[in-house]
Amino acid sequence: MLPCLSKTLFGVECLGCGFQRAFVLVIKGDFAAAFQMYPAIYSSLLFFVTLAWYVFDKSTFTKKLLLATGITNGIFMIAGYAFKHFL
C-alpha cells in the first residue's frame, strides 16, 4: 500500500485515506467491510468509471454525469471524514 502523503507529512488523514484498503476489500468481495473502512468507496468507484467513460465520450450527457458523480462523491467523502473524526 502507498502511504498517505498528508498523514506522513502533517499527521492528518486526508479525505482519501482508507480508499486503497477499501478497494482491496471490494476486490476480495467483502463489500460491507469496504464500506466500513471507507464509506465513499462506491461513489468513488462510480466517479472513476464515469471519468473513464468521459475519456471516450465527451458528450454533454457525459459531462453532466461526471459533474453529478463528482459532487456526490465529494459529499460522501466529506461526510465520511466528518463522521470518522468528529462523531
Q: What is the CA radius of gyration of the chain?
A: 14
pLDDT for 53 equals 95
Range of the domain at 47: 5-86
Print pLDDT tens along the chain (87 aa): 788 888 889 988 888 888 999 999 999 999 999 999 999 999 999 999 999 999 999 999 999 999 999 999 999 999 998 988 887
Number of structural domains the chain divides into: 1
pLDDT for 39 equals 92
Whether the Cβ atoms of residue 34 and residue 22 lie closer than 8 Å to each other: yes
pTM metric for this prediction: 0.86
**Cell numbers of 2, please?**
502507498
d(C-alpha 22, C-alpha 37), whole Å: 6
d(C-alpha 6, C-alpha 28), whole Å: 27
pLDDT for 28 equals 97
| φ, ψ of residue 65 in degrees (nearest 5) | -65, -40
pLDDT for 41 equals 96
d(C-alpha 30, C-alpha 44), whole Å: 17
